[in-house]
Amino acid sequence: MHNTELLSPWVRRFLLEYLVSERNLARNTQQSYRDALRQFLPFIARAAHRRIEQLCVEDISPSRTRAFLQDLEKTRGCGIATRNQRLAAIHSLARFIALYSPEHLEWSGQLQTIASKKVARPLIGYLEKDELDALLKAPDQRTPQGRRDYAVLLFLYNTGARADEVAQVRIGDLDLDLGAASSRDGSSVVLRGKGNKPRRCPLWQRTVDELRPLIDRRAATEHVFLNRRGQPLTRFGIHALVERYAAHVATALPSLAKKRVSPHTIRHTTATHLLRSGVDINTIRAWLGHVCLSTTNVYAEVDLEMKAKALAELLSNVVDEVS
C-alpha cells in the first residue's frame, strides 16, 4: 500500500495544516469539521472491517458515505442541516486529497456527486423596536454588573457582531477619539470575524459613552468585557447574558415570549433595522462582515415579506370599509 493510499496522514494534514494554515477557517468551523470526521471515520472503519488507523482512501466509498448520512438521520435523529454539514466536511476532505494526489481525482469526483439535501430556510428571527428597547432597559444600571450588561447588549445591537466577535474585542481595537471630544462621530471598533478577517464598524455616541467607564485606565491588550471575576467574558457567557434578560423581559412582554432570543437574534435585528432605516444592502454586508452579498440578501427578502403583509392588511381594511 502506497503512502498516498493510507488515509490517516491525509486526515492529519487536513485538520492541522489545511483547515488552519491554508484555509484559515474560524475555530468553530475547524471544530465542526473535526467532529464530523470523529463520527464518520469510525463508521467507515466498521463498514470496511478495518481498524481506523488502517483505513485507506478508497475505503471511503460513495455507498458507505450515503449509508453514513442515512444513519445520521434515521438512527441518530439528526436534522437535514446537520446531515449537510457533515457532508460538507467529507467533500472538503475529498477535494483536499485530490488536490495533492491527482490519482484520487476520480474517487473525489464520485464523492462530490453526493448532493446536499434541500432544506426549507427558516424565517429570520429578529426583534421589533419595542422588544429591543425593552431588552436594553432590562439591566439594572445602578449596579456595576448591570452597567456592564447594558454595555454588552448595546454593543451587540450597535455592531451586529457575533457573540464570539464581541468576546474577542480588546481595548486596543476601540477607537473612541479619546483625545478629541469634538470628533466623537468617528468612533469605531475593529471586529475579527470568520477566518480572523478584520472589519471596522462605526460606534454610536450612546455606545461610546457606555464603553468609556469600562475601559478607563486599563491596558490596550485587555479584553473590553469582563465577568464578575475580572476574566474575559466568553461567548457562552454572552449567550447566557442575553437569554437571561430576554427571559426576564418576556414575563411582561408576551410577544417576546414567543421568540428564541440569542446574540444572533440581535445580529438579525441590527440588519433588519438598518435596512428599514434606508441603509443600502452593501453597507449592511460590510457592517455584518458577510463574505457573500447573497447572505445579506436574506434581510432584503424579510423586509419584502413584511411590506407584502402590511400591504395585504391595508387592502383587507379597505375592502372591509367598502363592504
Q: Per-residue pLDDT tens for 112-169?
A: 999 998 876 655 688 999 999 999 999 999 999 999 999 999 999 999 999 999 999 9
Q: Which of 83, 148, 264, 268 is the catalytic position?
A: 264
Our CA dihedral for 227, 233, 234, 236, rounded to 10 degrees, sits at: 50
* CA atoms of 191 and 185, how far apart (whole Å): 18
Q: Is 66 tagged catalytic? A: no
Q: What is the DSSP letter of 19?
A: I
Other CB atoms within 10 A of residue 123 CB = 11
Q: Which of 267, 268, 273, 290 is the catalytic position?
A: 267
Q: Which pLDDT value is given to residue 122?
A: 57
Report which secondary-structure segment, H or E, holds 202.
strand 198-202
Q: Going edge to edge, which strands form the sheet with 198-202?
A: 174-175, 188-192, 198-202
Q: Is 273 tagged catalytic? A: no
Q: CB–CB of 169/223 below 8 Å?
A: yes
CATH architecture assigned to 129-310: Orthogonal Bundle (1.10)
Cell numbers describing residue 73: 438521520
Q: Which pLDDT value is given to residue 284?
A: 80
* CA atoms of 57 and 67, how far apart (whole Å): 17
* Residues in contact with 198: Cβ distance below 8 Å, sequence separation at least 6, in sequence order: 190, 191, 192
Q: Is 206 tagged catalytic? A: no
Q: Which of 86, 104, 162, 268 is the catalytic position?
A: 162
Q: Write out the residue limits of the CATH 1.10.443.10 domain(s) in the chain.
A: 129-310
Please report the DSSP string for 95-137 in residue order.
HHHHHH-GGGHHHHHHHHTSPPPP-PPPPPP---HHHHHHHHH
What is the identity of the amino acid at 204? W
**Could you tell me how many residues make up the chain?**
323
* Residue entry with cell 454595555: 151
> Within the chain, which residues score under 50 in pLDDT?
1, 179-184, 307-311, 314, 317-323
Q: For 91, how many CA atoms within 13 A lie in the half-sphere containing its CB? A: 12
For 3-112, which CATH class? mainly alpha
Q: Which of 13, 91, 194, 248 is the catalytic position?
A: 194
For residue 49, the SS3 value is coil
Q: Write out the residue limits of the CATH 1.10.150 domain(s) in the chain.
A: 3-112
* Residues in contact with 92: Cβ distance below 8 Å, sequence separation at least 6, in sequence order: 14, 33
- Among 82, 118, 112, which residue's Cα sits nearest to residue 96? 112
Q: Is 104 tagged catalytic? A: no
Q: Which pLDDT value is given to residue 90?
A: 97
